[in-house]
């Protein structure tokens, strides 16, 4: 079967596809973010910090193995000008073979992993999770093809259904048998549901063709992505490994919950939005003005919601976390506050990867990953003597004052988006959210309702109104808000036109 990905959409349809794709993806991610927060709240009350710590010991090692299973080829499929059935089948069999091999190695390493953490109970969960490595690998190419063909609604639906399935599996098992197995079940069920959805939706099936020579250009592209992903792994996951090894499962559990409440939802927003934006930017790379406009417009819309969300959670952390998760999670508060400081620039900085990938600057992307890895690992080691809180503090300070300035300069050295474009985008949001933070801080001692979630919802609505109100003072801010209103109007008008 010839994949639909070979058909390039006309450039005049890109804006429509971007608008519709952003609407589907935004709606799905709003649901996924709510589901993620609900999962954190519910499971934190059903399971102990020790259970989350055990899972957080395994997850980084499993993710490291999965990096090599995909070889960075998904983005090569998404951004390629054209792709043949021979290339697709060859890449599928390479991915699957490597994933099967690595899954077997991961399973065989189960006793070694248990010995490293001094946790004998890790052996059985590692053996089960090894199977999810292959399950995830055999769906990654189908997911990339759906993304390439810009069927963003399908991906959004798959994400939502898989997330629900994983959440329900975790809750059921946590009620029946509260242990790390609830979290293992969530991971496996989510992977299985995603694979079934992608295979059913993509319409593509691998053939028996295997022509390595034809796949070499994509493998070359993937090398840069793989290099960045390896370096990025250490910057994102070595903190968990070090805390788990030297501070124990409970400390790692506190760190993991703080991360899942803050930085993880941000990544879960940026990742699917990147699915929409990267294939569009890759088609506009020879049109700098349109390229810049699409990127700036997308990041501005993201910042409208994500930055106020980060500020709101940061200000209310000391009150909200013990009240919502339970008093036994109070040690997570200082960790959360430090990670919140690092998250303040993430809604913009995390999108620079879209620029590296869509401009085929994967070699530079890998070198930037090395810088991130070296500076992050150094920060982890410096903060480790002070436990999980020390690691979070050292990471946050190095992220804000070292990595952010470097990547903003680096990505703007060449290409359609310059460093000054990032600065011009950011400063109205900095001002509006700083004022929002002051207002929220003054409201800390007020209670609008006895029910904690209602009280937080009211404060969140007030904070968002303040942020957007201040933003409207600036011409750039008014343009962003008007663009949001126009986008929502176009999306809402589509059903009316269809009828």
SS3 sequence, 133-170? HHHHHHHHHHHHHHHHCCCHHHHHHHHHHHHHHHHHHH
Q: What angle do CA 395, 259, 144 make, to 5 degrees?
A: 100
Confidence (pLDDT) at 16: 57
Confidence (pLDDT) at 11: 47
Q: Which two tokens stand for residue 425?
A: 């985008």
> What is 204-237 written as a DSSP string?
----S---HHHHHHHHHHHHHHHHHHHHHHHHHH
Q: Is 2 exposed, middle or buried (0-12, 13-18, 19+ CB in 10 A)?
A: exposed
Task: Identify the H or E element spanning 120.
Answer: none
Residue 496 lies in a domain: no
Pairwise CA distance, residues 456 & 485, whole Å: 25
DSSP state of 4: G
Confidence (pLDDT) at 111: 95
- Block mean pLDDT (10 aa), the chain, length 499: 45 54 61 78 88 90 75 64 75 82 91 92 93 84 76 79 93 94 94 91 77 66 65 79 88 86 68 79 88 90 88 90 84 91 88 90 86 92 93 94 95 92 92 95 89 89 94 88 73 50
Residue 104 lies in a domain: yes
- Residues 35-73 as b or e (16 or more Cβ within 10 Å = b): bbeebbebbbeebbbbbbbbbbbbbbbbebbbbbbbbbb
Single out the residue of 157, 147, 408 nearest to residue 280, CA to CA.
147
Residue 3 lies in a domain: no
Residue 203 lies in a domain: yes
pTM of the model: 0.71
For residue 326, CA distances in Å to 43, 48, 224, 339, 360 come to 11, 11, 44, 20, 47
Residue 499 lies in a domain: no
Pairwise CA distance, residues 135 & 187, whole Å: 11
Pairwise CA distance, residues 141 & 206, whole Å: 10
Residue 340 lies in a domain: yes
Range of the domain at 261: 8-488
- How many independent structural domains does the chain possess? 1
Confidence (pLDDT) at 215: 63
Task: Identify the H or E element spanning 456.
Answer: helix 452-471
Length in residues, the chain: 499
Confidence (pLDDT) at 66: 78
Residue 494 lies in a domain: no
Confidence (pLDDT) at 185: 95
Pairwise CA distance, residues 344 & 348, whole Å: 9
How many alpha carbons lie under 13 Å from residue 194 in its C-beta half-sphere? 26
Residue 498 lies in a domain: no
Q: Which two tokens stand for residue 75?
A: 């983005």
Pairwise CA distance, residues 358 & 381, whole Å: 34
Residue 107, C-beta contacts closer than 8 angstroms, at least 6 positions apart? 126, 127, 130
């Amino acid at each position: 079967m010839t994949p639909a990905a070979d058909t390039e959409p006309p450039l005049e349809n890109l804006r429509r596809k971007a608008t519709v794709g952003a609407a589907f993806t935004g709606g799905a991610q709003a649901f996924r973010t709510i589901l993620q927060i609900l999962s954190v709240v519910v499971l934190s009350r059903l399971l102990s910090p020790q259970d989350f710590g055990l899972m957080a010991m395994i997850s980084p090692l499993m993710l490291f193995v999965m990096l090599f299973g995909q070889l960075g080829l998904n983005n090569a499929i998404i951004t390629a000008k054209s792709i043949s059935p021979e290339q697709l089948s060859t890449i599928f069999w390479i991915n699957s073979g490597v994933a099967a091999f690595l899954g077997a190695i991961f399973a065989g390493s189960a006793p070694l992993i248990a010995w490293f953490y001094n946790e004998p109970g890790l052996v059985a969960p590692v053996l089960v999770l090894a199977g999810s490595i292959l399950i995830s690998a055999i769906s990654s190419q189908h997911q990339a093809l759906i993304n390439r063909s810009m069927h963003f609604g399908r991906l959004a639906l798959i994400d939502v259904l898989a997330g629900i399935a994983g959440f329900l599996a975790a809750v059921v098992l946590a009620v029946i048998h509260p242990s790390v197995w609830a979290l293992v079940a969530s991971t496996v069920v989510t992977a299985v549901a995603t694979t079934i959805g992608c295979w059913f939706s993509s319409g593509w099936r691998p053939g028996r063709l295997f022509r390595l020579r034809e796949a070499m250009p994509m493998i070359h592209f993937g090398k840069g992505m793989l290099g960045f992903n390896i370096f990025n792994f250490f910057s994102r996951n070595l903190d968990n490994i070090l805390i788990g090894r030297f501070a124990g499962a409970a400390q790692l559990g506190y760190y993991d919950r703080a991360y899942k409440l803050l930085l993880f939802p941000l990544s879960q927003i940026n990742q699917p939005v990147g699915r929409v934006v990267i294939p569009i930017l890759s088609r506009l790379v020879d049109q700098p003005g349109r390229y810049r406009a699409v990127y700036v417009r997308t990041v501005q819309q993201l910042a409208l919601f994500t930055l106020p969300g980060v500020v709101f959670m940061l200000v209310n952390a000391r009150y909200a976390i013990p009240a919502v998760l339970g008093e036994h999670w109070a040690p997570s508060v200082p960790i959360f506050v430090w990670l919140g400081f690092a998250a303040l620039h993430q809604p913009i900085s995390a999108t620079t990867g879209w620029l590296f990938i869509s401009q085929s600057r994967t070699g530079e992307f890998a070198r930037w990953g090395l810088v991130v890895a070296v500076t992050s690992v150094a920060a982890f080691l410096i903060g480790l003597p002070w436990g999980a809180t020390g690691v979070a503090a050292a990471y946050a300070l190095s992220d804000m004052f070292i990595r952010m300035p470097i990547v903003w300069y680096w990505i703007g050295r060449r290409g359609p988006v310059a460093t000054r474009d990032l600065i011009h985008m950011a400063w109205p949001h900095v001002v509006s959210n700083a004022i929002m933070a002051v207002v929220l801080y003054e409201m800390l001692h007020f209670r609008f309702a006895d029910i904690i979630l209602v009280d937080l919802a009211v404060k969140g609505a007030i904070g968002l109104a303040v942020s957007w109100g201040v933003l409207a003072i600036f011409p750039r801010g008014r343009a962003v808000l008007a663009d949001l209103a126009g986008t929502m109007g176009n999306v809402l008008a589509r059903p009316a036109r269809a009828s």
